Chain A
Amino acid sequence: AQSVAQPEDQVNVAEGNPLTVKCTYSVSGNPYLFWYVQYPNRGLQFLLKYITGDNLVKGSYGFEAEFNKSQTSFHLKKPSALVSDSALYFCAVRDTWDDYKLSFGAGTTVTVRA
């Protein structure tokens, strides 16, 4: 079984401040990890993914995420948040044993105030 937890329903930060969105996962094998963003009235957009290699993954729009195997975490970060980063963020995991199934977290709403 695989699962993803996003412990925070909402994250509020001021523009220019660092942004962190937390994600922890559980898989039976090795994880493939993903972050997606959903803007109002739009479908999911891919931000970044971790498959293997360097634990720090850089993605779209200045976002990055750090894979921590010992803590089973994959937190999303941005050094300096923008108002336009306000959206809904989803963490997802896929077990390498199952090519099909992607399990999503419940989502974290990020609000960046000017």
Chain B
Amino acid sequence: AAGVIQSPRHLIKEKRETATLKCYPIPRHDTVYWYQQGPGQDPQFLISFYEKMQSDKGSIPDRFSAQQFSDYHSELNMSSLELGDSALYFCASSLGAGGQGTKAFFGQGTRLTVV
């Protein structure tokens, strides 16, 4: 069965560069969530989209932006990268905005290293 696909799996960037992470949800899923997990830390919710509209916003820095496209894939754009942005970024997708019985499926994550 198709799962949530994230690309790239690994990314190395220098400080002040930009990075774009992509998330392809499970087919027919219309909701995408983004999380940031630093080394040894709990995942922090960044932002979510439902039907191409932002549905919830967490601790996403102003340097980051995201959107969901017409095919429901999502991209997380990160600018002016800082060393502290080094983390595992993973996304999850679900069908529906999270009512009873809605399950979220997680991707493998993109490991971003800022040097």
Point out residues on A near B: beta carbons under 8 Å.
Answer: 9-10, 34, 38-44, 46, 49, 86, 88, 90, 99-102, 104, 106-107, 109, 111
10 contacts between A and B (CB under 8 A): A38-B104, A41-B48, A41-B50, A43-B46, A43-B48, A90-B104, A100-B88, A101-B109, A102-B43, A106-B103
A29 to B66, CA, bound (A): 36
A86 touches B100 (CB 8 A): yes
Residues of B within 8 A of A (CB): 33, 35, 37, 39-40, 42-43, 45-46, 48, 50, 55-56, 58, 87-88, 97-106, 109, 111
Most chain B CB within 10 A, of A34, A40, A41, A101, is at A41
Residue of B48, B50, B88, B100 with highest tally of chain A CB at under 10 A: B100
Determine how close the nearest CB of chain B comes to the CB of A91; give it in whole angstroms. Answer: 12
Q: Smallest distance from the beta carbon of B61 to chain A beta carbons, Å? A: 16
Question: In the complex where A41-B56, A88-B102 touch, is A46 in contact with B35 (Cβ < 8 A)?
Answer: no
In the bound complex, residues from chain A placing their C-beta under 8 Å from that of B55 are 41
Q: How far is the CB of A24 from chain B (nearest CB, A)?
A: 18
Cβ of B39 and Cβ of A99 under 8 Å apart?
Answer: yes
Q: Can you list the 9 inter-chain pairs with the closest CB atoms, starting with the nearest? A: A43-B45, A99-B39, A40-B98, A100-B88, A41-B97, A41-B98, A99-B40, A107-B103, A104-B106
Please name all residues of chain A whose beta carbon is closer than 8 Å to the beta carbon of B102 when the two chains form the complex: 40, 88, 109
A9–B103 alpha-carbon span in the complex (Å)? 9
Given contacts A40-B102, A43-B56, A44-B33, 16 further A-B contacts (CB under 8 A): A9-B103, A34-B42, A40-B100, A41-B48, A41-B55, A43-B35, A43-B45, A46-B42, A49-B42, A88-B104, A101-B109, A102-B37, A107-B103, A109-B102, A109-B103, A111-B100
In the complex, are the beta carbons of B45 and A44 less than 8 A apart? yes
**B45 CB contacts on chain A under 8 angstroms:** 43-44
Q: Which of B35, B37, B48, B98 is A100 in contact with, Cβ under 8 Å?
A: B37
